[in-house]
Amino acid sequence: MDTKELESLIVKCLHDFYKQRLQILKDLKLKYFLRRKNPYLFKAIGMQNAHEIILRILTDYLSSSDETIFGDAFFEPLARIASGAKVADGAGMDFIIESEKKITAVALKSGPNPFNSSAKKRQSQELQAARNRLFKTQKQFDAVLGHAYGRQNTKPTTERIYRDSSGQAFWKEITGDSDFYLKILRLMRDTPFEHRKEYLACHDAAINRFTAEFVIDFCFPDGTIDWEKLVIFVSAEKQENKKIRGINNEH
């Protein structure tokens, strides 16, 4: 892939990433992510400002959401297309790189965040199932848990069928270019800044919208936070929740 072709691909992937980020902000409902937060912690650290609470929980939610979206909208299509791979048709894999004698099945993650034991087992089982399905090809099967950044590079073990390949080593392996991991960064150029203005406007509107809703539903008339009402919304059984005016219509 030449430089201009790669740059066009990176720009498209960034566009898709921002498109999904914007859509999430536009569709997001306050009570969806508020129900998943810890009101006791907010009370314990002395939060008394509705705007501060909303900014905190929205930032936490979007940070996690961005990592997932970036992996799906940017890293996965970039790695698949740049390597000439094809989309995998089974669970546990994102794409397959096939040569005359070898099939490399790649499950791609953004970074080398540690799996818990059950996740490792499930990932290994899914890749083992893929190897069984592809056994008839009579080709060597290489299962890879790829990481778009990081330095975790390991071999398979008796407990897992796959190996880890991360960062520079991963991108070099699938593209043959030892500088590919740097080219991704360089060829973004100013594209992120071109999208940022629209995103920030949408983000600020969401903050204002959620803050206003929080004040109506979870504050006393004088503006102070009704902590009991918030805790009931997050933790009470349904029949108790329905007693609270303004909360019984969250779904």
Which of 164, 168, 142 lies closest to 154, judged by CA? 164
pLDDT computed for residue 134 by the predictor: 82
User: Which phi-psi region, left, alpha or beta, contains residue 165 (left: φ > 0; alpha: ψ -120 to 50)?
Assistant: beta
pLDDT in tens, the chain (251 residues): 899 999 999 999 999 999 999 999 999 999 988 998 999 999 999 999 999 999 999 999 999 899 999 999 999 999 999 999 999 887 788 999 999 999 999 999 998 876 777 788 888 898 898 889 888 888 999 999 999 999 999 999 988 899 999 999 999 999 999 999 999 999 999 999 999 999 999 999 999 999 999 999 999 999 999 999 999 999 998 756 555 555 544 43
Region(s) of the chain under CATH 3.40.1560.10:
87-175
Which CATH number is 87-175 given?
3.40.1560.10
Beta bridge partners of residue 143, listed in sequence order: 105
Which of 47, 43, 66 lies closest to 55, judged by CA? 47
Tokens of 203: 């983000």
Sheet holding 140-147, edge to edge: 86-87, 95-98, 102-109, 140-147, 163-166
> pTM for the full model?
0.86
Give the CA-trace dihedral at 186, 190, 191, 192, to 10 degrees.
90
Cβ proximity of 118 and 155 under 8 Å: no
Beta bridge partners of residue 146, listed in sequence order: 108, 165
Taking each helix axis from N to C terminus, what angle separates 50-70 and 3-27, rounded to the nearest 10 degrees?
A: 140
Which of 68, 63, 66, 57 lies closest to 207, judged by CA? 57
Tokens 């009579």 appear where?
Answer: 138
Beta bridge partners of residue 97, listed in sequence order: 104
pLDDT computed for residue 242 by the predictor: 59
Give the CA-trace dihedral at 147, 156, 127, 184, to 10 degrees.
20
162 C-beta neighbours (distance < 10 Å), count: 24
pLDDT computed for residue 184 by the predictor: 98
pLDDT computed for residue 248 by the predictor: 44
Does CATH place domain 1-83+188-251 in 1.20.950? no
pLDDT computed for residue 244 by the predictor: 58
pLDDT computed for residue 251 by the predictor: 37
Region(s) of the chain under CATH 1.10.3250:
1-83+188-251
pLDDT computed for residue 137 by the predictor: 83
